[in-house]
Structure 1
Amino acid sequence: MTTADSNGASPLDVEIGALQGGPADLKQYAGQAVLIVNVASKCGLTPQYSGLERLHARYADQGFTVLGVPCNQFLGQEPGSAEEIAEFCSATYGVTFPMTEKVEVNGEGRHALYDRLAGHADAEGHGGDIRWNFEKFLVGRDGRVVARFSPQTEPEAAEVVTAVEAQLAG
């Protein structure tokens, strides 16, 4: 079992489907650092897939993974089927990190994963609803959310890399 945060629940305890079907067992990442990112294929920020993949590859052997969570809530920028999303990510950006099923991150249909993420504020104090595609949450080795980064923050920005490295060192 993962370590719970102050509200009693770790994001890694949530049940969610894998992009290609079946469950995505998030508990397999217990003891690792995980960067959870809501992603979309037709967004101006979609090129961040490249940085996410490089970050994943750079630290994967140290107990780190990126977890992509497709979402179509922002101007319909992730309209594809699971197969289309997987093909796009692989062919266009060489994505090898795991992806979940497409979910809602805001509103009444918000997935339980984002219920456990949204309350955590970023360095500027923004908490609550997800603002746009590519908002990032870093879950530490203890299962707690340790950082939130705005959609515009590049995956390889100094603040993201520093936060990931701090989790891997601790």
Structure 2
Amino acid sequence: MSHTTIRFTVRKKGGPSAGKTLEQSVAEFNWEKFKNTPNAEAFVKKAYFAAAQKLTRELHESKSQTEEHHLQTMESLIARSLKFTKTEIQDWCESREWGRVTFKADAEKAIGILKENLPKPSSSEFCFPINLRERAAEIIAEVANAKLDPIADYLFVKLSQKSKDEIALDDL
């Protein structure tokens, strides 16, 4: 079994390890092996419902801008619980083949707007300009890697979700 090294700094509120950088060799994650590991399904199910409980509490306490639609599909619950940093999304943007997209306006300007705005969902879900979300989701689908692209999936879900205000406007 192959191993990888994880390294992280414990937050200041982290007890005896607060402020320390910890490093440890752990088994490398392999999805195919993971799916066939005893209790893998139970592990994922517990993690999924722990995330659902956390979001439910946030919803009832009106915290973290959590809304009911975050709990309506597995995709939205996972996207709400999963975090990608601005840097990870910026790196993803830099690695895209933007030439595969046919833009309705000047391509360089459009790519600049996307690179500026796509990292925003990492800190606040609805800070991405509303009028650009649908088109940006379409572009994400065009530049996503064919097989596995978790950042593209994350961005697509974030950009295609509607806030409760937008849902209310649809009912008018």
TM bucket normalised to smaller: under 0.3
Specify the structure having the higher radius of gyration (Cα).
2
Which is bigger in relative contact order (C-alpha 8 A, separation at least 6)?
Answer: 1
The TM-score, its normalising length taken from structure 2, stands at 0.27
More strand by share: 1
